[in-house]
Amino acid sequence: MAPFPEEVDVFTAPHWRMKQLVGLYCDKLSKTNFSNNNDFRALLQSLYATFKEFKMHEQIENEYIIGLLQQRSQTIYNVHSDNKLSEMLSLFEKGLKNVKPTTVDWKPYQ
**Residues recorded for the chain:** 110
In the predicted model, is pLDDT for residue 110 greater than 50?
no
Q: Summarize pLDDT for 58-105 with one digit per residue, the tens.
A: 888 877 777 777 777 766 666 666 567 788 888 888 888 888 877 644
Cα–Cα dist 81/89, whole Å: 16
CA diameter of the chain: 72
Which residues lie below 8 Å from residue 51, measured CB to CB, with a gap of 6+? 85, 88, 89, 92
What is the predicted pLDDT for the residue at 16?
85
φ/ψ region of 106 (left if φ > 0, alpha if ψ in -120 to 50, else beta) reads beta
Instruction: Residues 24-98: name the CATH superfamily.
Output: nmb1532 protein domain like (1.20.120.520)
Query: Is 37 within 8 Å of 101 (Cβ atoms)?
Result: yes
pTM, two decimal places: 0.66
What is the number of other CB atoms lying within 10 angstroms of the CB of residue 96? 17
3-state class of 65 per DSSP? Answer: helix
The domain locations on the chain are: 24-98
Q: 34-49 pLDDT, tens per residue?
A: 899 889 998 999 889 8
Region of residue 108 (phi > 0: left; psi between -120 and 50: alpha; otherwise: beta) = beta
> Residue 55 has what pLDDT?
87
